[in-house]
Amino acid sequence: MERVGKKEHQYVEEVLRDGFRTSANGKMTRRLEEAFAEKFDSQYAIAFCNGTATLHAALEAVGAGLGDEVIVPPLTMSSTTFAVLHANATPVFADVEPDTFLISAKSIEACITPKTKAIIPVSLFGLAPDYDAINAIAKKHGLAVIEDDAQCFLGKYKGKIVGTLGDISSFSFQGSKHMSCGEGGMLITQSEELANKIRKYSCLGYANVGSKVGKISKKDIQDPDYCRHESLGWNYRLSDVCSAVALGQLEHLEELVEFRQKSAMLFMEAIKDAPFLTPQKNSADCENAYWAFVAKIDDDDIDWRVFRDKYMELGGDAIYAAWKLTYQEPMFRNLTLLKRETLFNSNANYADGICPVAEKLQPRLLQFKTNYFDLNEAQQQAEILSKTIQYFK
């Protein structure tokens, strides 16, 4: 399967022929935003330079800041937590479920304090968490829900497309994601108020921009008395060249997602007779987008590294470990954050033991990629996994 098709090349050529433009004026970024909003049943879509900037802007838009707490899972890419720090808020880690590996609604409830401002559930590896329970908790306590769907394009939760379940939803176009333009991202929302704020945060706080971009006449912008910036903002805009690639990807996104799902099913078949491997649990009313296929080792006598080494010895390309829990990363342990200590609430706790399920789970996870170039390649890797399993049975 061609990951990059003819449309991506065509759209990039259109941008180059048209001459470089800022994304505030660029035609291709507007086309991407309109198409993305339509694809994901959303009123508003705002393109970003990456999927960390999206989360930062979303937090700013819901008012998270100094003295506020934001609940996040520890088992995910660190960008989710870094965005909280960028907003000068305090990350609070809720534990995960032992079978789905996703943030636990029960743990979220236990983490809530009068300082809690928002929850960022992550659709990890392509699977959505329990949004009914999460949204009920958020409604009860008046909290914003920001979906981190970087790994879950076109996933489903109880018939609804993932990305339509929270107040704001964040997607990443980084190179490993279902669709990519190298680096990029998108925020979607149904709220015009939030969309207006998001646009300004992404575009240096310009007075003339809003949910649908906005324009200003040359006469006004050339006036020496014209005031450009009515609020704080960052330059988080996506270039038209990147938007061209992303638009081409978006137009065959179903094919890209379906390929990953088929690849994952080959790995699922390979482990069906392995009593010591348990895949991420899928509920009957959710559709997994399978950014990766993930299973945990349930046998204490099988060492993760020994299993990985045997797999690679037999010809496997790689097995990725789950990310180190964010609060166990050196930046939380070697006082790198000391300069930000005044930002943290006094009850912030990042010691081992705060998320026991995640701490037990993380060293046991095996993560197999699904973004191969063709299914034959994925089939070969699944067969090598079967041989590896036979070695340990």
CA 68 to each of CA 73, 300, 336, 344: distance values in angstroms, whole numbers, following the listed order: 17, 40, 21, 9
CA 179 to each of CA 10, 289, 361: distance values in angstroms, whole numbers, following the listed order: 17, 12, 28
Q: Give me the torsion for CA of 26, 28, 30, 36, rounded to 10°.
A: -160
- How far apart CA 98 and CA 177 sit, in angstroms, is 25
Catalytic-labelled residue, pool 39, 117, 177, 200: 177
b/e map of 107-143 (b: 16 or more CB within 10 Å)? bbbebbeeebbbbbbbbbbbbbbbbeebbebbeeeeb
Q: How many CA atoms lie within 13 A of 98 on its CB side?
A: 5
- How far apart CA 4 and CA 7 sit, in angstroms, is 8
- How far apart CA 203 and CA 206 sit, in angstroms, is 6
- How far apart CA 382 and CA 192 sit, in angstroms, is 46
Are 119 and 129 a contacting pair, CB within 8 Å? no
**Closest by CA position to 188, among listed 233, 150, 242:** 150
Residue 29 tokens read as: 């970024």
Q: Where are the beta strands (DSSP E) in the chain?
A: 44-48, 69-72, 90-93, 116-119, 144-148, 156-157, 160-161, 168-172, 185-189, 277-279, 286-287, 292-297, 320-321, 365-369
Q: DSSP labels for 86-145? A: HTTPEEEEPPB-TTT-SBPHHHHHHH--TTEEEE--B-GGG----HHHHHHHHHHHT-EE
Query: Could you give phi then psi for residue 45, rounded to 5 degrees?
Result: -140, 130
User: 139 an active-site residue?
Assistant: no
Q: Which residues are catalytic?
A: 177
